Copies of this chain bind each other. A is one copy, B any other.
Amino acid sequence: MTRTRREQAEWRREQLLDAALRVFAAKGVDGASVKDISDAAGVTPGLLYRYFESKEALVETLLAERGFLPRLRELLTATGRDARPATEVLTELLAAFDGLLADNADLVAVFFSATHARAAMAELVREGQRLIGDFLAARVAAGELRPHDTATAARTVFATVAVSRRTGSPVDVERLVELLFPDER
């Protein structure tokens, strides 16, 4: 109950970021007012400016601190998979990616709405595709997967999962993997 100053400040900061994320996702960055956000956080607009320089700084902080690129990287490079079949690992990977997007639906919405976020989103996509492509290439090199254009394949699965999430009709990742690698079960 008793928080130190520092804890309290940290807690408030996070609370504001939470509120901002929710509100931005619902109304879009431009459509949401500072008042909307402070209302959602149960504080007054003025307080927001003790924690963030401006509305724009708030958006940037959100993108920087809540961005899930690190988590995506983790997911896609997790070790201890070498022993398991490529299609199994790939399925799991895509499911994890799908889950990541689901968990961060609000942030994804911000990525889509904000003109600012264009670059951040592009980076996410590039990185994701590269990591999946590397995985596929390694397994092709190992002779486990048939030779194919791994970059295109990575791009394909990545895009499919992302769009499916965004349009609200989640994809069945098993089927997706089977579509691409029908013989490697």
| Chain A contacts with B in 140-185, Cβ cutoff 8 A | 146, 148-149, 152-153, 155-160, 162-164, 167-168, 171-172, 175-176, 178-180, 182
- What is the copy number of this chain in the assembly? 4
A23 to chain B, nearest CB (A): 12
Residues of A within 8 A of B (CB): 26-31, 112-115, 121-122, 125-126, 146, 148-149, 152-153, 155-160, 162-164, 167-168, 171-172, 175-176, 178-180, 182
> Which of B27, B28, B115, B156 contacts A179, CB < 8 Å?
B156
Interface pair B180/A179, CB less than 8 Å apart = yes
Interface majority SS (helix, strand, loop, mixed), chain A: helix
Interface pair B125/A167, CB less than 8 Å apart = yes
